[in-house]
Amino acid sequence: MGAEAAYRSNDGGALDVDREFYRKVAGADRELVDSFEIPIRSGRAWEVPAGHLCRLVTVDGPQVGDLNVWNAGDPRERLWAARTRQLQRAHVTTFDRLWSNLPFLRPLLTITDDTLADYGRDGNGGRVHDLLGTRCDPYVSRMLSGADFDFHCHSNLVRAVLPYGLTEFDVHDVLNVFQCTGLNEEDRYFMSPCPARPGDHFEFFAEMDLLCALSTCPGGDLSVPMWGPDARDPLDTCHPIGVEVYRPDPGVLSGWAPPRRAAYQGLHGMTLPHWPRHR
């Protein structure tokens, strides 16, 4: 038996998920309210209203997508990849949640459907839907290759969020959807080719009004090294990703409410200053 997970709650606690509720939501009648494709090596941002479903689809071939998520009403609240790894797992799937940063600390979304849920491990121990790594970016790429390239996931996300009043400083560590990764025997990060097939999808339920942004990774399915002695341009491995937003039958949401902010109301051990009373 392996080591116990460090982050656990009591029965009925914050980490328990009402699986029956999310099964009903995923299986309920739904209305398509938005649909588009993100072309290769590009990014796009869009909104998902609270109580709606969003599906990401590998339209015509394997493709990795780098996902950012914010509270649409207050983008200071956004995905906290590191804490999500601890509270959920390093590779997420159905019924896992993506959690927000401090001082909010609540689920942004809950995964409701994943056609790769049974993928398991590949021959190297890789798993899909990765929170171990983060987005590729032009800064590291220039450091490793000596060349500039403007369409890494970080840059794609920067361009995608500008129309929403956000900047490069708002782009954050991602969920790498459809990406297969792990740690090798040297405890170093590795990437395996994306196992997704045409029509595979990853779907989630918006626990609050969300702003999402997705980059179609310039590495495509990651079957070709982007850096090192065997690197080449993997343009031929790139495919678009489809995005679909659905409104489920309102009746299925009876009793559901957006999660509240973290309950902690302390002052981190500090006390409020006492101001002398003036007459």
**Mean pLDDT, consecutive 10-residue segments, the chain of 279 residues?**
88 92 98 98 98 98 98 98 98 98 98 98 97 97 95 98 98 98 97 98 99 98 92 95 98 96 94 81
Write the CA distances from 117 to 65, 68, 79, 87, 131, integer angstroms. 17, 21, 21, 18, 15
Answer for the pair 112, 204: CB distance below 8 angstroms, yes or no: yes
Sequence-distant (≥ 6) Cβ neighbours of residue 19 within 8 angstroms: 95
The pLDDT of residue 1: 66
Write the CA distances from 23 to 26, 110, 112, 253, 259, integer angstroms. 5, 11, 7, 12, 18
The pLDDT of residue 11: 86
The pLDDT of residue 227: 87
Question: Which residues sit opposite 46 in a β-bridge?
Answer: 212
Within 13 A of 96's CA, how many CA atoms are on the CB side? 21
The pLDDT of residue 279: 65
Distance CA 279, CA 270 (A): 28
Distance CA 132, CA 91 (A): 8
Provide the residue type at 99 as one letter: W
The pLDDT of residue 71: 98
Distance CA 245, CA 269 (A): 44
Q: How many helices (H) and strands (E) does the chain have?
A: 4, 12
